[in-house]
Amino acid sequence: MIVAMQEKATEEQIDAVIDAMVDSGVNVHRTTGAYQTILAGVGPTANVELRKFELLPGVLYVHRITAPYKLAGRAFRPEGTQVEFANGVKVGGDHVHVMAGPCSIETREQMFETAKRVKAAGGAFLRGGAFKPRSSPYAFQGLGIPGLELMREAADAHGLLTVSEVMEIAQIEPMLPLVDCFQVGARNMQNFNLLRELGQMRKPVLLKRGIAATIEELLLSSEYIMSGGNYDVILCERGIRTYETSTRNTMDISAIPVLKKLSHLPVVADPSHGTGRRDMVAPMAKAAVAAGADAILVEVHPNADKAASDAAQTLYLDQFEKLVGELRLIATAVGRSF
Amino acid sequence: MIVAMQEKATEEQIDAVIDAMVDSGVNVHRTTGAYQTILAGVGPTANVELRKFELLPGVLYVHRITAPYKLAGRAFRPEGTQVEFANGVKVGGDHVHVMAGPCSIETREQMFETAKRVKAAGGAFLRGGAFKPRSSPYAFQGLGIPGLELMREAADAHGLLTVSEVMEIAQIEPMLPLVDCFQVGARNMQNFNLLRELGQMRKPVLLKRGIAATIEELLLSSEYIMSGGNYDVILCERGIRTYETSTRNTMDISAIPVLKKLSHLPVVADPSHGTGRRDMVAPMAKAAVAAGADAILVEVHPNADKAASDAAQTLYLDQFEKLVGELRLIATAVGRSF
Amino acid sequence: MIVAMQEKATEEQIDAVIDAMVDSGVNVHRTTGAYQTILAGVGPTANVELRKFELLPGVLYVHRITAPYKLAGRAFRPEGTQVEFANGVKVGGDHVHVMAGPCSIETREQMFETAKRVKAAGGAFLRGGAFKPRSSPYAFQGLGIPGLELMREAADAHGLLTVSEVMEIAQIEPMLPLVDCFQVGARNMQNFNLLRELGQMRKPVLLKRGIAATIEELLLSSEYIMSGGNYDVILCERGIRTYETSTRNTMDISAIPVLKKLSHLPVVADPSHGTGRRDMVAPMAKAAVAAGADAILVEVHPNADKAASDAAQTLYLDQFEKLVGELRLIATAVGRSF
Amino acid sequence: MIVAMQEKATEEQIDAVIDAMVDSGVNVHRTTGAYQTILAGVGPTANVELRKFELLPGVLYVHRITAPYKLAGRAFRPEGTQVEFANGVKVGGDHVHVMAGPCSIETREQMFETAKRVKAAGGAFLRGGAFKPRSSPYAFQGLGIPGLELMREAADAHGLLTVSEVMEIAQIEPMLPLVDCFQVGARNMQNFNLLRELGQMRKPVLLKRGIAATIEELLLSSEYIMSGGNYDVILCERGIRTYETSTRNTMDISAIPVLKKLSHLPVVADPSHGTGRRDMVAPMAKAAVAAGADAILVEVHPNADKAASDAAQTLYLDQFEKLVGELRLIATAVGRSF
């Protein structure tokens, strides 16, 4: 940490800051300039709350000089991480993947029809939600574990992997045989108890960025999972909240190249939640692949308009097939296979 | 709901929208103007996803015409709700209350010293956190239930009520005898499973606004608790995320009068989280009372700089006592007792 | 306009709202439902301040039902606008164009070298700033009109069009012979006096989105220019301000397809200002073309690191040439020529 | 400036960064730690673009260690600035002032009636706008200089000072005899040409914060005026743009104490623009005074509902008089006179 003192800081103020830094367990190097004194704190600052130094008299700025994450940082694995699944599919390499399925698992027909079409289009993952706590207690709340069994069956019948959201620690155990990848939703990105448990698993985790989370906070959350020994984390950009209301969220496409630079983890883009509008899914999916996304996560449904949830942002299967064809061209244009 | 068609919408497009509205279970009234056709949908629209109508060809705008909440709306109880506690303290009436205590419960001495001073200053509630999932797995994680027992003892010794955050459904049961008010943190504002369970309790809930939640979303979450029969909900403004970085969050003081207008529920302000800086707590606490807050929730600690968490935003007890004196003057100036 | 009354609105309140609407010059249609009364106002509402109706007693919501812009709306020219320049170049058609040059015009060598390379790479426009009011009064303030003469010469020598920012009405006249396209910067997007004057010109205007402007506000500003008779407006997305600080601004790629849907005007993307970082320009330029941008506006400089302004976001000419090659592939992948 | 290198930065990378720093004119002090090298740049860094160092290979973070403003900083005048007007009124001292008047100057009757009531209530300043460029070319555009003459007359008749917005350099000269304080609007906060001219004047300037401006940017703009020798700058918080839509803008009350801490300049609050709703003006005005504002700027009109502009946020004169009475109590409660 670096503490920059104000020009008129007194010697007493400087000494008080040094004492506070030493109290926090860091060694202090002092540089006294003609105008300004700089204090560099070296040592284990990860758990030091930097904000409190800003309040000390005579302090101008306090800055961090080490990244708050290690395992998630690009330097940890400069070559990049490829998350490998049981069937050999790897996310994070040359190949751009598609993960598709309905927001909510509803019926056997829905899942089998979707699985067939996703596979035929070249997709590798079937997605679907089983736990759907809704704002109205009378609305559809999801099929739960029986829904995941349906999805497992449909995926197996067509050689697909499964990905589904886990919302509570108690769901991890029963989900283990049914999903190939746990998804952590935006609202749980900082549910540290859940992240810690997932860090104990040896199964990939797709971690969504919170609706108001910074890129650094997303990486800190991934670090939390990795610190438990589970290095198979896939990051996901799905839109952030801004003042603009034309789209449900503002999809931060620039987060994709920024994450690829700062971290070695694969990055997935979710244009369905990113825009909230079916007619914007295709252009944003293409933009995401052009910007370097390793996979696209998209909501599709055989009868999109009647979907039990997220209907407005769900693609029809025909639209999905057309989109996949377009994504193949974009992937090729940026030197990726598809 | 109101669907405004584009000027050049065709008769086929209009018919298709009417069909979709009828399919959703609403009755449609059509007004055909010289330039534009308006379709009003009347009936049970609470569970209708309005966004999907925006995507139909020929549609210009889709608007809601009923508030998405009923129980939380001012019209439900025009006279306002007073949440009454076992000892007769009421939040939401003429009296402005103070809720104070450390971010984390740490030791018996800390809690008893704090309780004594909070009571002496005129506070009615002792606050303290027992569950502290932290970004570092090596950091202090809170004392858990034994911590809450400490707080209960300290509060009882000084005639104070207790308020503490509940983070998981499993914590509700053991917390019941130890807290007088459950606090739901900003990250759990939309944890609908937790809200549903709290709706089954008959104990007040202090519901914090999420860091990126709109005022409408906060009211929808309060509705979720109330729909279970627990009407004793206290709303809390604690800062939202904006582009400004001088303060940790931007405390939305205007949310206080807006909530008081839209809803009958009491409103509490948390200037500690709202600003993240000890030196800004006092001015913002005063602003909140001036704007109509029913109580102030503030972090205090006998040794603020050494607090196990949130040190930078925690007041020393002397500062707290000074602040309470100032708040008393402001409360009087706006015609409230204190 | 639609005014939705509260469930418990009284007949007096409803009458008062009707009177206020009539006073504003609109005809009122009333629908009295079992629960709620709806008032539809028909007529010239463009200049009616809707917000003031929200404050009338008994009012729940007030909604607009006509778009606040006409000339800029897609319905005005469903086939889309192509802005045609003197040399036959058209922005807004099949072809994706590149506009490139330094932030500031500095020297003859700089402009000729840049023009040569931009032309060779397939670019059609040379950009460069002549007026550079800077936060420090001692910093470089731009070359002014002599700079634009330099740019004109360099562009003519290589068959390029010129685009440059106009900051004040007094600059329009001397700029007329020197630029082929006026650029309005983000800070002037709502400088209505300037927009009105540009509406009197018969020369294309590239209008940048303000750093905190909504898409609707951008379209309203374009309407302002068009209402003067100048229909050759090109819209430009250049990043908005959000809470995320990894990039200088958050480039709202979704604004591109949204603008293309709402309006008939061409849309240009500026990844240099959109990201503020040289290393993010290429991925975001590719994303913009994939999402449907009609042109890319990019800062390049023969000696990017020494650029007098915006050095951090300026590409070297080699990087630019590589990027143009990549954009050609993306354009082809989305069915455009380049 | 401080450059923190990555842990694995090579000696070549470090040397390249040092060279670039020296090129920018700063002296470099190097600290080589076991894990990380830190480079401190000392010297004239005000005009150095720090962002470009972030892009150099091996760099982790680049931080500023001196405030980017000097004249506006609290250290320049620790005792605080009081802006004194011709009649002896001082803004920035113990006394809290009120500045009130209509958004637009419309008629002689309107201005005289307003002036009489503002004076009677204890206000010191009459405000009113003369230049009103509006989004519709057919809407009222303001009375211009004749309007300011009306305001001057009304103010003189009642012993008030005048404040009005200047939008262009050409307006300064004719406004000089008519206004006692120039107001710079939010959209012009970074119109550096205008600020430079105002810096040459010897008349106070009320500088409004831009709708998406940070507190630091506001201080930089005030520095721009002061660097011309005009030290009589009054800062104004008037609401920022966030994702919340219940209010027109989100009034950042915390900006008031933050500005008072960072700067010596007086701070005014504008709750009319800050909220955009008449019913929220009073609570937010009270909050602003409680938080330390030196004056309140508020829109009032004898016939608020018929105001030519900003009707929804304009107070009736009766409401204004009631508010002033309440503000007097709050000012007293925070130890100020009124």
pLDDT in tens, A198-237: 999 999 999 999 999 999 999 999 999 999 999 999 999 9
pLDDT band at B333 (very low <50, low <70, confident <90, very high): very high
- How much of chain B, in percent, has pLDDT values that exceed 70? 98
**Number of helices and strands in chain C (H, E):** 11, 14
pLDDT band at D224 (very low <50, low <70, confident <90, very high): very high
Question: In whole angstroms, how far apart are CA A250 and each of B52, C33, C253?
Answer: 18, 37, 9
CATH 3.40.50.11540 fits D74-333, yes or no: no
**In chain A, which residue ranges form alpha helices assigned H by DSSP?**
11-23, 51-54, 108-121, 145-157, 169-175, 192-200, 215-226, 255-262, 271-275, 278-290, 317-333
Around Cβ B158, how many Cβ atoms within 10 Å? 16
CB atoms A55 and B134 under 8 Å? no
Q: Whose structure tokens read 């009936």?
A: B43
C289 touches C279 (CB < 8 A): no
Cα–Cα distance, D211 to A18 (Å, whole number): 39
C65 touches C2 (CB < 8 A): yes
Would you say residue C309 has pLDDT above 90? no
pLDDT for res B135: 61
Quick one: angle between helices C255-262 and C215-226, nearest 10?
40
Interface contact C242, partner A, CB < 8 A: yes
DSSP string, A219-275: HHHHHHHHTTT---EEEEE--B--S--SSSSB--TTHHHHHHHHBSS-EEE-HHHHH
Find the CB nearest A330 among C243, C279, C290: C290
pLDDT band at C141 (very low <50, low <70, confident <90, very high): confident
Q: B278 — phi, psi (to 5°)? A: -55, -40
The structural domains of chain A, with segments of one domain joined by +, span 2-63, 74-333
What is the topology classification, in CATH, of domain C76-333? TIM Barrel (3.20.20)
pLDDT in tens, A90-125: 999 999 999 999 999 999 999 999 999 999 999 999
The nearest CA of chain A is from the CA of C46 a distance in Å of: 20
For the record, the structure tokens of B14 come out as 């209009």
**Which residues, at least 6 apart from A76, have a Cβ–Cβ distance to it below 8 Å?**
A70, A264
CB atoms D224 and C191 under 8 Å? no
Cα–Cα distance, B23 to A306 (Å, whole number): 10
Cα–Cα distance, C104 to C143 (Å, whole number): 8
B52 touches B29 (CB < 8 A): no
Considering only residues C47 and A160, tell me which one the structure prediction assigns the higher pLDDT. A160
- pLDDT average, residue stretch C97-118: 97
C249, closest residue in chain B (CA to CA): B243
Mapped onto helix, strand or coil, the DSSP state of residue C308 is coil
Count B/C contacts: CB-CB distance under 8 Å. Answer: 58
Angle at B334 between CA B331 and CA B335, to 5 degrees: 85
- Say how many residues make up chain B: 338
> Which DSSP state fits A314?
P
Mean pLDDT of chain B: 94
Preferred mutation among D52, D54, D310 to probe C, highest tally of C CBs within 10 A = D52
Cα–Cα distance, A279 to A288 (Å, whole number): 15
Would you say residue B308 has pLDDT above 90? no
CB atoms A334 and C330 under 8 Å? yes
Would you say residue C135 has pLDDT above 70? no
The nearest CA of chain B is from the CA of D188 a distance in Å of: 19
> Which DSSP state fits C180?
S
pLDDT for res D71: 94
Q: Which residues in chain A have their CB less than 8 angstroms from residue C240's CB?
A: 242-244, 250
Question: In whole angstroms, how far apart are CA A19 and each of A23, A24, A27?
Answer: 6, 9, 10
Preferred mutation among C220, C245, C253, C284 to probe A, highest tally of A CBs within 10 A = C253
Q: Position B47: which residue type?
A: N
For the record, the structure tokens of C132 come out as 């550079």
Cα–Cα distance, B20 to A323 (Å, whole number): 26
Q: Whose structure tokens read 């460069």?
A: C128
Question: In whole angstroms, how far apart are CA D248 and each of A213, A214, B130, D275?
Answer: 24, 25, 39, 5
Mean pLDDT of chain A: 94
H-helix or E-strand containing A101?
A: strand A97-101
H-helix or E-strand containing D224?
A: helix D215-226
pLDDT in tens, D41-96: 887 776 788 888 988 999 999 998 888 899 999 989 999 999 999 999 999 999 99
CB atoms A312 and B279 under 8 Å? no
- Find chains touching chain D: ≥3 CB pairs under 8 Å: A, B, C
pLDDT for res C137: 59
Positions of chain A with pLDDT lower than 50, given as ranges: none
pLDDT for res A281: 97
Mapped onto helix, strand or coil, the DSSP state of residue A300 is strand
pLDDT for res A68: 86
pLDDT in tens, B210-231: 999 999 999 999 999 999 999 9
Cα–Cα distance, C249 to A152 (Å, whole number): 42
Would you say residue D335 has pLDDT above 90? yes
Cα–Cα distance, D38 to D43 (Å, whole number): 16
Mapped onto helix, strand or coil, the DSSP state of residue A63 is strand
Cα–Cα distance, A26 to D59 (Å, whole number): 23
pLDDT for res A329: 97
D151 touches D126 (CB < 8 A): yes
pLDDT in tens, C214-257: 999 999 999 999 999 999 999 999 999 999 999 999 999 999 99
CB atoms A257 and C283 under 8 Å? yes
Would you say residue D139 has pLDDT above 80? no
pLDDT for res A136: 63
Q: How many Cα neighbours within 13 Å face the side chain of B172?
A: 17
Quick one: angle between helices B145-157 and B108-121, nearest 10?
40
A65, closest residue in chain D (CA to CA): D4
The CA-to-CA distance between both ends of chain B, in Å, stands at 44
H-helix or E-strand containing C163?
A: strand C161-165
Q: Which residues in chain A have their CB less than 8 angstroms from residue B227's CB?
A: 137
Q: Whose structure tokens read 């606490």?
A: B285
Would you say residue D138 has pLDDT above 70? no
Would you say residue C156 has pLDDT above 90? yes
- How much of chain C, in percent, has pLDDT values that exceed 70? 99
DSSP string, D238-298: --B--S--SSSSB--TTHHHHHHHHBSS-EEE-HHHHH--HHHHHHHHHHHHHTT-SEEEE
Cα–Cα distance, A35 to D42 (Å, whole number): 10
Count A/D contacts: CB-CB distance under 8 Å. Answer: 58
Dihedral sign of CA atoms A318, A320, A323, A324 in order: negative
What is the topology classification, in CATH, of domain B2-63? Alpha-Beta Plaits (3.30.70)
pLDDT in tens, D92-131: 999 999 999 999 999 999 999 999 999 999 999 999 999 9
pTM exceeds 0.90, yes or no: yes
Preferred mutation among A135, A184, A191, A299 to probe B, highest tally of B CBs within 10 A = A135
Nearest residue to B42 via CA among C57, C7, C55: C7
pLDDT in tens, B165-184: 999 999 999 999 999 999 99
Q: Residue C11: exposed, middle, or buried by beta-carbon count in 10 A (0-12, 13-18, 19+)? A: exposed
Mapped onto helix, strand or coil, the DSSP state of residue D39 is strand
C296 touches C327 (CB < 8 A): yes
Q: Which residues in chain C have their CB less than 8 angstroms from residue D187's CB?
A: 187, 190-191
Cα–Cα distance, D76 to C149 (Å, whole number): 44
**Which residues, at least 6 apart from C310, have a Cβ–Cβ distance to it below 8 Å?**
C103, C104, C272, C299, D49
pLDDT for res A130: 96
Buried b (16+ CB within 10 A) or exposed e, B296-308: bbbbbbbebeebb
pLDDT band at D136 (very low <50, low <70, confident <90, very high): low
The nearest CA of chain B is from the CA of D275 a distance in Å of: 8
pLDDT for res C136: 63
Would you say residue B134 has pLDDT above 90? no
pLDDT for res B157: 98
Fold matches, A2-63 and A74-333: no
The answer for C 119-148 residues in CB contact with D (under 8 A) is 133-139
Nearest residue to A323 via CA among A291, A292, A278: A278
- pLDDT average, residue stretch C282-303: 97
